[in-house]
Amino acid sequence: MTAPGSGTAAAAPCPLCDGLGGLLVARQPLWRVVRVDDAVTVAQHPAFWRLIWNTHVAEFTDLPRAERIACMDAVAMVERTVRHQLKPTKINVASLGNVVPHLHWHVVARFANDAHFPQPVWASPQRPADPMAVQALQRRLSDVDEALREALA
């Protein structure tokens, strides 16, 4: 199995090597940025992006120093662009990889009225999702994706 565009084989099945991992927003030789597009996430947290390392690497410290810097510069640009475009209450940035041990960073715009705020998006909801707020946010995402493409070019 090969990471999309990487030419590097992974040892075990990996969904981030076998597929894009979401709606492709931008791609560079080392990484790609996708917007999470699974129905469950989109229904509550539509402003959720991932920066995914193109080759199969499990841990951030597996990268050489120059690649770690390039990775974090890209994560910072995603965060900065999302903050500028959406003006969220908070941005969550996380690299967990417990379920999918392939280096990827979550960048999630959080709002005081989202279903889980102030808890993590993976915690129990604090309130029902506001469908009107979610829909209003969803209508803005293609513009944010375009701003990300320009910022990451």
Neighbours of 40 (CB within 10 A): 8
> Is there a contact between 10 and 66 (Cβ–Cβ < 8 Å)?
no
* pLDDT, one tens digit for every residue, the chain (153 residues): 344 444 454 456 899 999 999 999 999 999 999 999 988 888 889 999 999 999 999 999 999 999 999 999 999 999 999 999 999 999 999 998 888 889 999 999 999 999 999 999 989 999 999 999 999 999 999 999 999 999 999
CATH of domain 15-141: 3.30.428.10
Predicted pLDDT at 11: 59
Neighbours of 119 (CB within 10 A): 13
User: Whole-prediction pTM value?
Assistant: 0.89
Ordered by start, the domain boundaries in the chain are 15-141
Predicted pLDDT at 98: 83
- State how far the Cα of 153 lies from the Cα of 5, in Å rounded to an integer: 17
